[in-house]
Amino acid sequence: MLTELFVKNIAIIDEVRLSFGPGMTVLTGETGAGKSILVESIGLVIGGKASPQMIRSGEKEGVIEAVFSFEGKGLAKGLLKEWGFGDEDQLIVRRHLQSEGKNKIYLNGRASSLGQLSTLGPHLIDLVSQNDQQILLNEATHLSLLDEGDDGRELASYREHFKTFEQVRADWEVLKRAGENREERAEFLRFQLAEIDRAALTDPEEEQKLVEERARARNATLLNEIALEGEQSLVSGEGAAIDLLDRLVVRLEKGREIDPSLAEVAELLARAREPVQEAGQFLSRYQEKLSGDPTRLEEIESRLYLFQQLKKKHGATLADVMARGEKLRAELKTLENHDDTVAKKGEEMEVLGKKLVGLAQKISAARRGKAKKMEQKITEELKELSLPRALFRIQVTTPPKPGVEQLGPDGIDGVRFDFSANAGEAPLPLTAIASGGELSRILLGIKTTMGSRSEPATSIFDEVDSGIGGGVAEVVGRKLKGLSRKGQVLCVTHLPQIASLADTHIVLSKKVVDKRTRVNARPLSAAKEREEEIARMLGGLKLTDKTYAHAREMLERGRLDAR
The per-residue pLDDT for range 272-301, each reduced to its tens digit, is: 989 999 999 999 888 887 756 778 888 999
Please report, for residues 238, 392, 416, 422, 480, the alpha-carbon distance to residue 389 in angstroms, rounded to integers and kept in the order given: 132, 10, 20, 5, 22
With 0.75 as the threshold, say if the pTM is over it: no
Residue 135 has pLDDT above 80, yes or no: no
Count of all residues that appear for the chain in the document: 563
Q: Hey, how many other C-beta atoms are within 10 angstroms of the C-beta on 481?
A: 20
Q: CA-to-CA distance for 436 and 434, rounded, in angstroms? A: 7
**pLDDT score recorded for residue 306:** 94
**pLDDT score recorded for residue 302:** 93
Q: Outline where 423-516 has alpha helix (H).
A: 430-433, 436-449, 470-484, 496-499
Q: What average pLDDT does the segment 451-479 reach?
A: 75
The mean-pLDDT minimum among 59-63, 145-149, 477-481, 549-553 falls in 145-149
In 21-171, beta strands by DSSP E: 24-28, 61-69, 90-98, 104-107, 110-112, 125-129
